[in-house]
Homo-oligomer: A and B are copies of this chain.
Amino acid sequence: MRIALSTGGGDAPGLTAVIRAAVLTAIGRGWEVLGVKRGFAGLLGEDDVVSMTRDSVRGIAHLGGTILGTTNRGNPFKWPKRQPDGSFLELDRSGEIIVNARQMGLDALIVIGGDGTLAIADNLADKGLRVVGVPKTIDNDVAGTVTTFGFDTAVNTALEAIDRLHTTAASHDRVMVLEVMGRHAGFIALHSGLAGTADVILIPEIPFQLSNVCDKIIARGKAGRHFSIVVVAEGAAPKGGEEATMGPSMPGQDRRVGGVATRIAYEIQQATGKETRSMVLGHLQRGGMPTGYDRLLATRFGGAAVRAVEQQRWGHMVALQSPHIVTIPIKDALREPKRVDPSHDLVQTARQIGVSFGD
């Protein structure tokens, strides 16, 4: 047996542990393992394919980052090709991948990636490539699995930031607005905010009104709590037409800079008169050593992916359905995106202890 590993999209804490476990498990079965560098580009002849040995994966499980490189360079079904006039044409190069995989003598490909990468993997499986998927999303927005590696580390990184902001907010009677990852799903904001006893949590799934946020802050002041912590997912958005009024109110503000936290902080300060500061956590959430939870889950995913290859579960991905790792059809996982359910006990508990979602 000869298998290959490929990763797509950004790095995630635990990615190296997936690779290590998959390589060691496959080698333990006497298989040969290749590492495809830089995503699908590596299968289109643009980059190296390297041999993966025990030595390749020594001492890497506790490190962040990836040893295969990552890429957002493209979808082989719509591969960008620059035209003479500078514009891009989209080519379907998926057939080349099938051919290349055959020429490389690959018996199977393990693809580690988020919903975009998994969708491509599924399409390649439909065309006959023997593919098994491993879900990878820091935002926790892939369905069919309780969670995936990287999410726990990101939550703890955000939580540590909340703890730090808490002491300085309380000392200075300030409102601190922390922006965390989550363009479409608010899990990081919800989990870290609730664990960190934030006063306000704003997520994409629950549109907010700034007046409600300010009311909460003012009410706290009346109760003798002169500081507040607001945790906001990058994709959180105000209700209805409110956004139109949010944007321009901060003079000279460029949307790309600072994002939603900066604007919300500005509005809160204007409306409440309280000194308000914002902080964008950004790339800190992707880096660093993975937590125990993530290292373990990643290790289980890596081992399970090789077993799924053995069982010829093509077009399936590994998933956590506590306490077991299972395999499910990638199509099932991608049927609809995973989002925070506003009726989930997490939201319910948060509301009951006084957290405002701004709605």
Show the binding face of A for B, using Cβ within 8 Å.
Answer: 10-11, 17, 20-21, 24-25, 28, 59, 61-66, 69-70, 146, 152, 155-161, 163-168, 170-173, 176, 191-192, 194-197, 250-254, 257-258, 262, 277, 279-280, 282-284, 286-288, 291-293, 295-296, 299-300, 302-304, 306, 321-325, 344-346, 348-349, 352-354
Contact = CB atoms under 8 A, between A and B. Distances in A.
Contact of A283 (B11, B279, B295, B302): B279
Contacts of A166: 287
Given A258-B257, A299-B349, A292 B168 contact: no
A164 B281 CA distance: 12
Contact of A253 (B28, B167, B192, B254): B254
For the complex of A and B, 3 pairs with smallest distance between CB atoms: A164-B287, A303-B349, A64-B167
B21 A304 contact: no
B304 A11 contact: no
A236 to B, nearest CB: 19
A299 B195 contact: yes
A266 to B, nearest CB: 9
Given A253-B257, A262-B257, A194 B164 contact: no
B325 A345 contact: yes
B349 A172 contact: no
B197 A146 contact: no
Nearest to A254: B252
Given A170-B65, A292-B159, A303 B353 contact: yes
A303 B24 CA distance: 40
A252 B66 CA distance: 35
A215 to B, nearest CB: 17
A41 to B, nearest CB: 13
Contacts of A324: 344-345
Contacts of A282: 277, 279
Nearest to A349: B303
A349 B21 contact: yes
Q: Name the residue in A166, A168, A253 with the highest tally of chain B Cβ atoms < 10 Å from its Cβ.
A: A168
A159 B294 CA distance: 12
A195 B262 contact: no
Given A25-B352, A306-B352, 6 more contacts: A64-B168, A146-B322, A167-B287, A258-B258, A277-B282, A303-B348
B163 A288 contact: yes
A261 B279 CA distance: 14
Contacts of A161: 284
B299 A323 contact: no
A168 B138 CA distance: 13
A326 to B, nearest CB: 9
Nearest to A159: B292
